[in-house]
Amino acid sequence: MRKFCLLLILSLALPVFCLLQAVEPPKKEIRAVWLTTVYGLDWPHKPATTEAGRKAQQQALLDILDRLQEANFNMVFIQARLRGDVMYRSAIEPVSKTFSGKYGELPGYDPLAFVVDECHKRGMECHAWFVTFPLGTEKSVKEQGKLSVVKKKPKLCKRHNGEWYLDPGVPETADYILSLVKEIVNGYDIDGIHFDYIRYPEEAKTFPDKALYNRSGKKKSLADWRRENINRMVYRIYDWVKQTKPWVQVSSSPLGKYNRIERVPNAGWTAYESVFQDPKMWMQQGKQDMIVPMMYYLHKNFFPFVDNWVDNCNGRLVVPGLGAYRMDKSEADWAVNDITDQIDYSRYYGGAGCAFFRCGNVLYNDKGLYKELRDNYYKYPAQLPPLTWLNDSVPAAPEGIKVERLDDELHLTWEKPVSEKQDLTYTVYYSLTDSIDTASAKSILATNIYGNELFLPIDVESERGYTFSVTASTRYRIESEPSPDTYYYLSKFIK
């Protein structure tokens, strides 16, 4: 499979002072977007009802991923379960009408399989974003008809403030959610499963579960009982995933503020107190690999809460979710530096990267956010942080590194180590001198490569020497030692 690196050899030869910035981006960090499919907010904007429509729908997704790759993003949360409907071939819930125009019908292809494959081609992880308890409005449930979980499993469902939800307090709800998780994890080569709305809904005080609580609360407070309902499900799902595909990450996006803290006693809406999420406990129990809190706030409502998450992460990854949508004038009219200040703070104070809500608010932002990320903050590719608590075994280094010129491209190839049977991805490092600084992000030419080759466009008139080295990484992101350096002299005369 051809994989074109976005850093042209010609641009790599520019004087060093042209490439410097105040602080070099880290070599390892998560750069993620939530790619929203509900209502076609990010994709698809139109349902596919014909073969031409299918091709256009797929091309629109490729265009999005190409732009993310151009800006060196390395993770996509694709909304695979929307509101009791899904974007994949399911025996349990209907395919969303967003894709084909009709509930229960695929648009001539499997959208989740397509997204996973295309993300991997571009060196990006793909995590299935899973809206957990909300099932949609009365209108959407009625439109789904007999396909709706409200019709199929009425005992699991509650109506609250005009919308339908799975009730976390009903024991069979966890069985149902796990059955959906099994479909995705067993059926697709996803890198993670990412839970959203894994909480009680807004205005939770009036959620209609008091009768159930009175029968099964066992002298716990209502708040503790509700938190335990979610905790129990989180632990069960995590354990099943790790028994089945231990490299598949389990993460969630709780509210941006875990709880009311001393520095901000009037924190308002919080995960622990307001909607009965306890992600601190999930991390302490080792039942999450990553927390991506929705931190769509500024200043005192952001910075202290990053500290609070990092202080309580138990060595797991904390990835602040940034509100790119808040830059819209119709929202809060934030400036670009409101977002970049948050990236800086997260990098300095222990965050593992950042995620942006939502994808379209990054790609089509009229204040220049995308350009700032592409040209400065995400100027170089970044590896993903290692998942050492899952598996810290170091793979063998790649072998047989070769470079050859094919017309206006260089073709790099390498061999998977004979001793390695597990799936590997690869990072290609380069230098314009005879030594490579593999600790520097500037030395990464491409990373998370699925396959054993890389094609590089070149300036056929240039004359310059290049040194290349390749490393292998496991699905737990544990990197090998570099291969022996391979030197290639590029001449305008093909020899």
> What does the mean pLDDT of the chain come to?
94
- Give the pLDDT of residue 494: 60
Whether 5 shows a pLDDT value over 60: the answer reads no
Whether 21 shows a pLDDT value over 90: the answer reads no
The 10s digit of each residue's pLDDT in 450-484 is 999 999 998 888 889 999 999 999 999 999 999 99
- Give the pLDDT of residue 172: 98
pLDDT confidence band for 270 (50 / 70 / 90): very high
- Give the pLDDT of residue 1: 40
In contact, 200 and 207? CB cutoff 8 Å = yes
Over range 254-274, report the average pLDDT: 95
What does the DSSP assignment read for 14-26? S-GGGT--SSPPP
- Give the pLDDT of residue 156: 98
The 10s digit of each residue's pLDDT in 301-316 is 999 999 999 999 999 9
Share of the chain above pLDDT 70, in %: 95
Whether 15 shows a pLDDT value over 50: the answer reads no
Nearest to 440 by CA among 6, 31, 19: 19
The 10s digit of each residue's pLDDT in 126-154 is 999 999 999 999 999 999 999 999 999 99
Set out the domains of the chain in order of their start, with CATH numbers.
28-374 (3.20.20.80), 397-488 (2.60.40.10)
The 10s digit of each residue's pLDDT in 333-386 is 999 999 999 999 999 999 999 999 999 999 998 899 999 999 999 999 999 999
pTM of the model: 0.95
- Give the pLDDT of residue 451: 95
Intra-chain end-to-end CA distance of the chain, in Å: 26
In contact, 416 and 398? CB cutoff 8 Å = yes
- Give the pLDDT of residue 434: 87
- Give the pLDDT of residue 429: 98
Whether 491 shows a pLDDT value over 90: the answer reads no
Strands 409-415 and 453-457, how do they pair? antiparallel
In contact, 128 and 80? CB cutoff 8 Å = yes
Whether 16 shows a pLDDT value over 50: the answer reads no
Nearest to 248 by CA among 198, 186, 293, 199: 186
What does the DSSP assignment read for 319-352? -PEEEGGGGSTTTT---HHHHHHHHHHHHHTT--
Share of the chain above pLDDT 90, in %: 91
At position 83, the amino acid (one-letter code) is R
Strand partners, 429: 444, 469
- Give the pLDDT of residue 495: 54
Compute the distance between CA of residue 14 and CA of residue 17 in angstroms, rounded to an integer. 8
Strand partners, 317: 290
- Give the pLDDT of residue 459: 85
For residue 178, give every residue at least 6 positions away whose Cβ sits within 8 Å of its Cβ, in sequence order, or none.
233, 236, 237, 240
In contact, 119 and 76? CB cutoff 8 Å = yes
Whether 292 shows a pLDDT value over 60: the answer reads yes
Whether 115 shows a pLDDT value over 80: the answer reads yes
The 10s digit of each residue's pLDDT in 187-246 is 999 999 999 999 999 999 999 999 999 999 989 999 999 999 999 999 999 999 999 999
